[in-house]
Amino acid sequence: MPSETERTETERMLAGEPYDPNDPELVADRERARDLTRRYNRTAAGNEAKRRTVLGTLFGSGGETATVEPPVRCDYGYNIHVGEGFFANFGCVFLDICRIKFGRNCLLGPGVHVYTATHPIDPAERAEGLESGEPVTVGDDVWIGGRAVVDPGVSIGSGAVIGSGAVVTDDVPSEVIVKGNPATVVADVETDRPPGGTS
């Protein structure tokens, strides 16, 4: 196992540790992702074969079967993993310095943002330019409404529904509906009634 001083900035980034984003390898990786997203975003609407080929190269896994309406933006692409039946509507953004994993049959409305990147709270540390991140995990059969934001480190349980415009700052249980800023549970999916209510 490499010592702390031997670890690359990429290894630090993927581990969620403070890292230097100006490292040449990471700069090259981001430029690769920008090139691929530019190519993807210019594809014709009917050219599904090209879109799947580019997404298959961009995403870490699942891109060949995903449906993503352009434009789409991401930092690296290789940290994005999607299950079968993944759909993202227009204008989604993935800040994937750490792993972003979606289960099967996940649907994203237009303008959904998923962030794994974070910065030091202390202004002096932040000025040094180091960044870090926390992974985001989304279960199966999750629907995320348009303009929702998912913050670093969040896990969303299977079958959950995230209301449009919600800002998800904490983990979301399975089979619930959350709305608001910050997002809170407003109902169970099965009953569409407030949690804990009687039938």
**CA distance readout (Å), 143 to 80, 103, 127:** 17, 11, 37
- Active site (annotated) includes residue 113: no
Q: C-alpha 76: how far from its chain's center?
A: 11
Catalytic hit among 34, 39, 50, 119: 119
Q: For residue 114, what are its two tokens?
A: 């998923």
Q: What is the DSSP string of 30-71?
A: HHHHHHHHHHHHTS-TT-HHHHHHHHHHHSSBSGGG-EEPSP
Q: For residue 116, what are its two tokens?
A: 């794994």
**C-alpha closest to that of 113 among 152, 57, 76:** 152
Query: Which positions are catalytic?
Result: 119
